Amino acid sequence: MSSAVLAATVVLLRDAPGGLEVLLLERPQHTGSFAGAWVFPGGKVDPEDFGSGRQGANDGGAPDGHEVLAARRAGVREAWEETGLRVHADELVQLSVWIPDSVQPRRFRTYFFVAPAPVPAQEIVLNVGELEDYAWLSPKEALSRHAAGTMSLVPPTWVTLHWLSHCADAETALGRARTGQPETYQSRQRQGADGRKLVLWSGDADYPDADASGHPGPGARHRLDVSSLPWSYQRTDG
């Protein structure tokens, strides 16, 4: 199994009259990573993002301090390059780490950070050729569009939006991220006994590394059913 490329994503949040909104960017339909999907700003960590520190090389173990700092720098840089928004590194709060299944042809081990959108509001200037469009949406609206088939999402984006859908405003989301423990989602793609396509994570009874995830009970669930729309997320521990 080849090592996943280190990457960073910044989930920018703002409060609107209707509640919490998040910035989503549309990738081109036929080229690049996540073609046609709506994603958060982000991209690969460059060697320069490590500064004088060493480059991280783990692929699922405990995060390296230099690696987290490099991902934070990359997130700030990528947000600027993709949207023209200047985000301060000290405002980024680590939320999660996503590690794709080894069956994926191109793998990115991605640090997800949440951060407040710049205030006062800044004009968004998209990186031409790399992005098609942008939208500020409530997490519930983005999930609703995906369920209706009008917005393409990938599992890390979908699950993050699901988490955000339970936050009333930006400060609630940022506070939950600050006080919580960043979670690692090491994905495993599996087909259920009924033929349904599933993405499993630690804590699910059918997760292949279940012995290393606290011996979940036979009915334990931590999975996303991506067989058909709308997708269905199940997590028995909340």
157 in helix, strand or coil? helix
Distance between alpha carbon 182 and the CA centroid of its chain, in Å?
12
Cα three-residue angle 111-45-161, rounded to 5 degrees:
30
Would the pLDDT of 1 be above 60? no
Query: Tokens for 203?
Result: 């804590």
How, if at all, do strands 5-16 and 108-116 pair? parallel
Pure H helices in the chain: 65-83, 139-148, 155-164, 170-179
**Contact between 148 and 109 (Cβ < 8 Å):** no
Residue type, 224: L
Closest CA relative to residue 119, chosen from 171, 168, 77: 171
pLDDT, tens digit (0-9, with 9 covering 90-100), for 57-89: 444 444 568 899 999 999 999 999 999 999 999
Which pLDDT belongs to residue 161?
98
**Exposure letters 38-71 (e unless 16+ CB within 10 A, then b):** bbbbbbebeeebbeeeeebeeeeeebbebbbbbb
pLDDT level of residue 56 (50, 70, 90 thresholds): very low
pLDDT at 102: 81
- Tell me the C-alpha distance between 137 and 233, whole Å: 20
